[in-house]
Copies of this chain bind each other. A is one copy, B any other.
Amino acid sequence: MATNMYDAAYALQKAITENPDFIALKQSYANVQADPQAKQLFDQFRAVQMELQQKMMQGQQITEADNAKAQQVVALVQQNPKIAQLMQQEQRMNMLIGDLNKIILKPLEELYGPLAQ
């Protein structure tokens, strides 16, 4: 009997929660949340990020002022070791999720492959 797709997805969900990189990311996030200064800075960084994303999604122009504000927050954030560590682990996790996605979507990619010819 073939494994149910949903069962396999839940097994992967569980494997992610037990993955050392995910656990490290969770810990780094908790470290930031537990430090009021780091938390405030990180929340500010996320708010600026989200504002820029929304502008881009709505097709609005990103102004010089937007860019300057973003660069200022990024500079502050990079100087905070707890946030720097969190961001490094986020990048690592994003890479892993990208790898997982490639594996999972391969059957669909192979199906449509000949179309591109």
Contacts and interface: CB of A to CB of B under 8 A. Distances in A.
Interface of A: 2-19, 22, 25-26, 29, 33, 43, 46, 59, 93, 96-97, 99-100, 103-108, 111-112, 114-115
One complex includes copies of this chain to the number of: 2
Contact of A104 (B12, B18, B114): B12
Given A26-B111, A46-B115, A12 B13 contact: no
A57 to B, nearest CB: 12
A8 to B, nearest CB: 4
B8 A106 contact: no
B25 A2 contact: no
Contact of A4 (B5, B15, B112): B15
